[in-house]
Amino acid sequence: MLIEVAGAVLLILALNTIYRYVSSRGALPHPPGPPGDFIIGNLRQMPLTYPWHVFTQWGQKYGPLTYLNVAGQPMIVINTQEAAMDLLDKKTAIYSDRPRFVMAAELAGMESIIVFLRSGALHKKYRKLVAQTLGPRSVERDFVPLRELYTHQLALAFLDDPVNFLDHIERCMGKTITTIAYGVHDPDVVELGRKTMMHFSKLSQGYLVDFLPWLRYIPEWFPGAQFQKDAKLAKETYAQARWVPYNRVVEKVKNGTAPTSFVSSALEAMKTAQADEVNADIISSSAFTLIGGLFLSQPHLLLNIMN
């Protein structure tokens, strides 16, 4: 059984390589890059941890652009700031977009987080919503008093217990972000955010499925499919972190008891107590992005949990 499956996998890789070779004939030549193996290309050379070290070495050897063929999946590594500016800034409409995140976005269900969204109509809706509810005027009107309150509380905590100043900062940041997002400070929401971002950190370290997207169709029970179990656990945690606090705010908006928050303001902007499925997707994931940003901007908070 395993021999038959392995043979089928090799056949698929071979056909994919042949197809890409035939379809690329007559095209412009690729930038230089390390030579690869037959069929799998540079797959064995792809670093799964600290990839920038290897990319830097390749850049020193091959120049500002390095071409890789990862089992038929073409990749370009940009090695200099000048090349990055030329391609991603000056020609942003052609080259600047987010890559496909198979593990984190597709399998773990985090595709609605704005950092994973590719350019398009949905991405524009996200940006418009955030600009409406968290623009300078909205922040000045709704959230500056809150910031001042928590800043004063932080200063008092420093005076009372200066030794544990990092704990005070962490607590203040958690209170501020959760209150802005959902109108109340809930330690459980912060904890769910922590767990989700731990999964996010793990999923971002490099899985083979990110280089061979067709592996996503391998079932969870298949030998070596631990990535499916990792994705399933991350998906369940993210769903909780995203929908539990959002649905609480929706209920309060319906009852007329919701304090001002990102979620309540977004619902109000739509003139409804409950958004349709698409807009609920946008609001809930944008609110979670605020919580996730707490840990992405302060990586030591994640390290404290992971250690």
Structure tokens at 87: 């391609």
- Selection from 246, 137, 116, 109 nearest residue 183 by Cα: 246
Query: What span, in angstroms and rounded, lies between the C-alpha atoms of 162 and 48?
Result: 41
Taking 50 as the threshold, does the pLDDT of residue 303 lie above it?
A: no
The secondary structure element, H or E, covering residue 153 is: helix 144-160
Rounded distance between C-alpha atoms, residue 64 and residue 52, angstroms: 14
For residue 6, pLDDT beyond 70: no
9-13, 215-219, 237-241: least confident range: 9-13
Which whole number is the average pLDDT over 200-211? Answer: 80
Other beta carbons within 10 Å of 66: 23
CA distance 6 to 139: 57
pTM: 0.71
Whole-number pLDDT of residue 307: 37
Phi, psi (deg, nearest 5) at residue 113: -70, 135
Q: Is the pLDDT of residue 61 over 60?
A: yes
Quote the percentage of the chain above a pLDDT of 70.
Answer: 84
